[in-house]
A and B are shown apart, each in its own frame.
Chain A
Amino acid sequence: MPVTAVLILAAGTFAIRFAGPLLRDRVTLPDRVREIISASATVLLLALVAVSALTNGKQFGGWALALGVVVGGLAAWRKLPFVVVIVLAAATTAGLRLLGVG
């Protein structure tokens, strides 16, 4: 993660945030556009979840990793605290690897 990339993302993010208060008297986004922007955030996040839970970047990433994320997902769905979700996911994957699951 180069510092340049961090700074570009930071500058771009600030520009997006600053544009709203600056343009609010002149611009109205159609509802459809607002919905699509909101949905695209979720689409990207879930895609990254799927790729990083199920692959190693090229092929299937192994059952230990996949099952750990599934356990974390179930914990999140049951509304357990964020830190519990993460610890359960990591512990499941680490435990399965300890048992020799790939």
Chain B
Amino acid sequence: MLLRDVAAVALGAAVTGASFGAISVGSGLPWWMPVLMSLVIFAGGSQFMAVGIVASGGSPAAAVLAGLVLNARHLPFGLAVGDVLGNGWLARIVGSHLLIDESTAFAMAQRDPARARAAYWACGVSLFFTWNAGVLIGALAGQAIGDPGTFGLDAAFPAAMLALTLPALKDAATRNAALTGAVIALATTPFLPAGVPVLLALAGLVAFRSKKEEPCPSPQS
């Protein structure tokens, strides 16, 4: 049951990874760049974010900053499920690198601590392999595709991120904040260097008012 769920999520990660690899190469990066990013960053959302900002002419600094803000959500994840990693330093270090939305969600879905640990590691390790394999295949395939404009790859990129974002937009408070932020980013785009408007969108959080507590972290890649 658990293994079947992990396999389904891991397969999805391979497809998302292949898209990331192909789209990154289509945006002008060498094939090894998305591969390196996936191995050392291993956080899909921030990888899409960083490549997208740089591809649209933004500075690497803006890309790093946006990626870090995006990955800040891993801090509460680690506080919530940090005990399932194990107590040795090696387990903590390797386990921390595997701390992603999916492994957190799988661990939190288990009541029994031993099962939570098994679920966490099964999900984290599987996704590490399928995600990176997918990115490599996508990057190599992307080299064959050529000019992104011809094949509409510039539309594939925001569409991929929209698909990743959609589930979190079900929450009304989050949706209000995100829509406000998007309007701020669009309104400031003509006047500011690329990348900065996306960071300014965080001002949209003033519209973030929630009454109820979220039961679990919203899964995003």
B126 CB–A CB distance under 8 Å: no
Given A38-B217, A93-B155, are A82 and B12 also a contact pair (CB < 8 Å)? yes
Chain B residues, Cβ within 8 Å of A41: 45, 69-70, 72-73, 168, 220
B166 CB–A CB distance under 8 Å: yes
Task: Establish whether residues B181 and A43, one from each chain, have CB atoms under 8 Å apart when the complex forms.
Answer: yes
Given A47-B197, A57-B57, A68-B155, are A21 and B67 also a contact pair (CB < 8 Å)? no
Number of interface residues of B (CB under 8 A): 102
Contact of A76 among B153, B159, B177 (CB under 8 A): B159
Instruction: Kindly state the separation between the CA atoms of A65 and B204 in the bound complex, as whole angstroms.
Output: 25
Chain B nearest CB: distance from A42 CB in Å?
4
Task: Establish whether residues B79 and A20, one from each chain, have CB atoms under 8 Å apart when the complex forms.
Answer: yes
Interface class of chain B by DSSP: helix
Chain B nearest CB: distance from A62 CB in Å?
10
Assign chain A's interface to a size class.
Answer: 35 or more
Scoring B36, B53, B159 by chain A CB atoms within 10 A of each residue's CB, the highest score goes to B159
B182 CB–A CB distance under 8 Å: yes
Q: How many A-B residue pairs have CB under 8 A?
A: 313
Task: Provide the A38-53 mask, 1 if CB < 8 A to any CB of B, else 0.
Answer: 1111111111111111
B142 CB–A CB distance under 8 Å: no
Task: Establish whether residues B160 and A94, one from each chain, have CB atoms under 8 Å apart when the complex forms.
Answer: no
Scoring A21, A53, A64, A95 by chain B CB atoms within 10 A of each residue's CB, the highest score goes to A21
Task: Establish whether residues A85 and B95, one from each chain, have CB atoms under 8 Å apart when the complex forms.
Answer: no
Instruction: Kindly state the separation between the CA atoms of A9 and B62 in the bound complex, as whole angstroms.
Output: 11
Given A13-B74, A37-B75, A42-B169, are A21 and B82 also a contact pair (CB < 8 Å)? yes
Task: Provide 12 A-B residue pairs closer than 8 Å at the C-beta atoms, listed in order of the A residue.
Answer: A1-B63, A13-B67, A13-B74, A17-B97, A20-B75, A38-B174, A38-B217, A42-B220, A43-B178, A45-B49, A65-B154, A72-B159
Interface residues of A (CB under 8 A from B): 1-10, 12-14, 16-24, 27-29, 31, 33-59, 64-65, 68-69, 71-73, 75-77, 81-83, 85-95, 97
